Structure formats: C-alpha cells, structure tokens
Amino acid sequence: MGMSLYSYLKPVLFSLDPETAHGLVFRVVGQVSRWSAISALQRALFTYDHPVLRCDLLGHTLPNPVGLAAGFDKDGLLAAPLLGLGFGLAEFGGVTPRPQPGNARPRIFRLSEDEALINRMGFNNRGAAHLAERLALLPASEALIGVNLGKNLDTPLERASADFIEGLRSLHDRADYMTINVSSPNTPGLRSLQRRDSLQRTLEPLCAERDALARRSGKRIPLLVKLAPDLARGEMEALVEVAIACGVDGLIATNTAVSRDGLRSPLCGEEGGLSGRPIFARTLAVVSALYRLTAARLPIIGVGGIFSAEDVYALVRAGASAVQIYTALIYRGPGLVREIKKGLVNLLQRDGFTSVTQAVGTAAADASSSDIAEKDI
Ligand SMILES: Cc1cc2nc3c(=O)[nH]c(=O)nc-3n(C[C@H](O)[C@H](O)[C@H](O)COP(=O)(O)O)c2cc1C
C-alpha cells in the first residue's frame, strides 16, 4: 500500500466507525501478510534506508529513528507487517497483566478538521502473556522492539507497581525496552502516579526487579517512563528528579492530552485523550524542557502530532533521540514512514549532519529558540 493506494482506501475507511476501520485493516492485513509474495511486495514498496538515518538509542544502533507509537497494535497482532513498513522501532501494547475489555464503544473519534483523534479505549487488550506469545513469533529484526505496560482497571493505584512488575516478568524475553505508562488519561487516577511520591513508590520496586532479572538472566531491559503532555513545569522537574534517582533509562514524551485548545471539529467535546496535529506544539515544548531538565542524561523519545520530516527534525533538534507516530498513520497512510525518512535525510544533509544522533539537542544550544518552544510551559 503506497501513498497513492491509501488515497483510494482512505475514504472507504473514513466512512466506517474508526474502530471498525482499524479492525478491518487488521483482519485483511493479518490474512494477506501470510503470503510471502505480499511481504516481498511490501518490502519493495516501503524499504528505504540511508546511513545518515542510523541512530543510537538505549545501547542499540537503530536503522532509523522513526517509530510506531504504543496503542496502534496493543496485542502484537500485526507486529511483522508493521515492521515491514520500515520503522526503526516499534512499541506494542499497552498491555495489562490480565486481559480486559476496555471502555464501551464508541471509544475512538476522528476529528478530521483538526487531523486529530480522541480516544478513551481504556487499555482494551488480551493480556501480557498473549502479547509475549505473539512477539515470540517475530523474526529477528534490526528494529528495536518495545512493550508498553499498563495496570488493570481493578488494580488499586497503590498496587500499580505490582502490575508493572508482572508485565515486566511476562515480557522480559520479548522486548528490547519497556515503557511504564503512567500517563494514559483513560484509566482513572493513573496519571496521579506521575506525582513525586507515587512515582517513587511505583518506580523503585520496578527498577529493583529489572536489576534482579538482569542478574539472573544476563539481559537488562531498559525502562522508560511515558509522560502526559499536560504537566506543569514543576511537575516535570519533580518527575525528572525521581526518574533519575530511581535509575530509569529514558523518557517518552508524550501521551495523549486532556486539554482541548483550538479545536474546530464537532466531536472535540468527547471525553478521552487527544492526539494528532493539535498536540505537536506541546510535544515540542515538553521535549525541549525535558532535554534541559535532564541535561541530556536520559534519552527522550518524542511522540505527539508528528506528520512530517520537518516535525521529526524539530523534535530531534529539541532533544529527542527517536520519535514515534500513531495518528498521522491514520490520516496519511503507511507510506508516511518512508516519506518521513527520505525528507529527514534531506534535512540532515542540508545542515551538514552525518547522523541523526549528531543532530540530537542541537536546538538547545541556541537558547533563544528553546525559549520560544518553552514559552507556554
Ligand atoms: C487509539 C489510541 C490508543 C492508544 N493506546 C496507548 C497505549 O495503550 N499506551 C500508550 O502509552 N499510549 C497509547 N496511545 C498514545 C500514543 O502512543 C501517542 O502517545 C499519542 O497518540 C500521541 O501521538 P500521535 O499524535 O502521533 O498519535 C494511544 C493513542 C491512540 C490514538
């Protein structure tokens, strides 16, 4: 499916309820991706690599910094064909220890005028053990595989750490990193885990378990914390302090937003998390702020409202070591990954960078530009 094919397919998919469209794509791609001719065709259509795109993240060298964001494939049902789109990293999940149905439908809404989505899925997923089975089927790939961990709805907040630990144990052998999701707006109270004391109570036992597993197995799984875009400056400072003190390995900024500034779509009043174009400015501001607050001691993955190579380049220059995309894939189709990679090569070469990693944080050196980016924090 190149960009042109998607332009025919999109009106059909957009005529359906968003979750029905997602399910249909999953069923069709799930079937046809079994045929080897299709995966060969897919490689021919989507493969694009360039040495300038190689980048360092969490002790690995990735073929490129463009990632699939969590929530697109919560149960790892299309892991192989999704990697075939040319992502340098892919995050599956969010999963909880036990399967759960999530909220009642409809629970995802298209805000087409804003190129945005609102979702209140509520961690619908088949459970951590099922995802582990799915990922076990994945052929070895150059891309970094992440898993996004949540807590079950009926697990009390004080016991959130136990759920994350269970997820970590179940998926330890199947992931290159794991993300602790304390920022989904769709599990009541979850975001309060970002506050200093709760965060410390959640992260300390988790990092201890990571280290114990590493001693036993010889494999150390980096743990990343995923943040909300709606944090105030002081909350961000506290979070960075605790993350570093507990030994967290990186940050993902950001999850969906609860704010609804400047939207035009009739569905903008729906409850849930906002993603897509309208949150990009916020993502850029948060990544800039985090890069400065961490003094580059923790790698940052930038996510939220990325639609173009220019968006990726701005986030990298603000301090992101890699990026992830969800909503733009719905609006632009699967060819977007290749388009962004090509554009990014041009931007990096134009400015004389020989690798993505070389460009990371270079906007922070120019204080005036990051002051502009951070003005509304
Ligand atoms: C339908 C949907 C489900 C999502 N599920 C998860 C999830 O399970 N865990 C998570 O950390 N983020 C989840 N996200 C958030 C995305 O990973 C991403 O942070 C957010 O959508 C912003 O990126 P975007 O503007 O490119 O979509 C979900 C987003 C959407 C739209």
Whether 306 is in the pocket of ligand 1, judged by its Cβ within 6 Å, is: yes
Whether 227 is in the pocket of ligand 1, judged by its Cβ within 6 Å, is: no
Find out whether 96 and 70 touch, Cβ atoms under 8 Å. Answer: no
- Calculate the average pLDDT of the chain: 95
Whether 76 is in the pocket of ligand 1, judged by its Cβ within 6 Å, is: no
Q: How many angstroms separate the first and last alpha carbons of the chain?
A: 40
Counting from 1 in the atom list of ligand 1, the atom nearest the Cα of 329 is 26
3-class DSSP assignment, residue 26: helix
Say what the pTM is: 0.96
Catalytic residue list: 184
pLDDT digits (tens, 9 = 90+) for 185-242: 999 999 999 999 999 999 999 999 999 999 999 999 999 999 999 999 999 999 999 9
Q: What is the per-residue pLDDT for 3?
A: 52
Could you give the angle at which helices 3-14 and 18-32 cross, rounded to 10 degrees? 140
Name residue, tokens 């269970």.
Answer: 166
Find out whether 239 and 276 touch, Cβ atoms under 8 Å. Answer: no
Q: What is the per-residue pLDDT for 370?
A: 47
Query: Measured between alpha carbons, how far is 303 from 279 in angstroms, rounded to an integer?
Result: 9
Task: Assign residue 203 the CATH number of its domain.
Answer: 3.20.20.70
| For residue 37, pLDDT beyond 90 | no
Report how many domains make up the chain: 1
Pocket test for ligand 1, best of 255, 267, 271 (most atoms within 8 A of CB): 255
Q: What is the per-residue pLDDT for 365?
A: 78
pLDDT digits (tens, 9 = 90+) for 251-303: 999 999 999 999 999 999 999 999 999 999 999 999 999 999 999 999 999 99
- 365 CA to centre of ligand 1 in angstroms: 30
Residue 350: domain span: 3-373
Query: Measured between alpha carbons, how far is 143 from 66 in angstroms, rounded to an integer?
Result: 10
Instruction: Please give the average per-residue pLDDT across 358-373, as a whole number.
Output: 73
- 266 CA to centre of ligand 1 in angstroms: 21
3-state helix, strand, coil in the chain (%, to 5): 50, 15, 35
pLDDT band at 183 (very low <50, low <70, confident <90, very high): very high
